[in-house]
Structure 1
Amino acid sequence: MSAKVMYMRYELLKEWRKYICLLKKAVERILPNARIYIFGGAAEERLTALSDIDVLIVYEDTPSTAGERAKIIARIKTLAEELGVPFAYPFEIHLIRPEEFKDYNKYVKKIIEI
């Protein structure tokens, strides 16, 4: 990746707060009552040009299969794009059930509810 591309990517990443609001709107439309969190580099304020924005969505009726979860994540990303999130914005979305949430708390340094 060229220095110019990396700089442009980093500048876009720094706007994650703007884009997380749009992503949250998409999540609320598709998964009412879901809880949304940020963790990783964005939460810890240590983004780099190679970072992504780790998003954790906790939803009671999350399907058990990875394939069904992927379909929901794809719907969320599509709607977020319609709301103004740039195509291929580097959100790394994790969709889990509430009982799985405690596992994330064990392994992340900082988690912020949006």
Structure 2
Amino acid sequence: MLSWVRYHFEHLRRWREYAEKICSSIKSLGLEAEVYVIGGVAEDRITVLSDIDILIVVENIDPSTKKKLAIDIMEKAIDSYGLPWDAPIELHIIDRNDMKTYFRLSKTIKIC
């Protein structure tokens, strides 16, 4: 039997594959965005409590639509691109004006 810890680390090991599925989802939804992996995964400090933080930078975003957009992106990635439904991904959708703050606080890896 596979332990939860091993199972979780297997997801984390596939972070680049999962991030690319998010990129494909974003593109198929017609959204113009830059996508980065940030946080512990980008900084190579993965622990059992880690998730895959994906930063999505868009030109202008109404804060009230961020949650709906995140759901649409995840649903498309799962349904169309085979992202596992239990992948430990956290989406951070921000406006381009807020990008510098994230870049100052964390290492980033550009995906698309």
Identity of aligned residues (%): 33
Provide the C-alpha distance between the structure 2 equivalents of 1:58 and 1:24, rounded to a whole number of angstroms: 12
Q: Which runs of 4+ in 1 moved over 6 A?
A: none
How many residue pairs end up in the alignment?
109
TM-score, normalised to structure 2's length?
0.89
Structure 1 position 44, deviation (Å)? 1.0
TM-score, normalised to structure 1's length?
0.87
Paired position in structure 1 for 2:46: 47
Paired position in structure 1 for 2:101: 103
TM-superposition CA deviations, 1:50-70 (whole Å, max 9, x none): 2100110001131133xx100
TM-superposition CA deviations, 1:33-85 (whole Å, max 9, x none): 200011111111121222100110001131133xx100000000000101100
Provide the C-alpha distance between the structure 1 equivalents of 2:97 and 2:62, rounded to a whole number of angstroms: 13
- Structure 1: 5+ residue stretches without partners: none
Paired position in structure 1 for 2:56: 57
Provide the C-alpha distance between the structure 1 equivalents of 2:9 and 2:63, rounded to a whole number of angstroms: 35
Paired position in structure 1 for 2:84: 86
RMSD, aligned CA: 1.5
Q: Is the 8 A contact 1:31 1:59 kept in 2?
A: no
Structure 1 position 16, deviation (Å)? 1.1
Q: For 1:73, what is the secondary structure of its paired residue? A: helix
Structure 1 position 98, deviation (Å)? 0.4
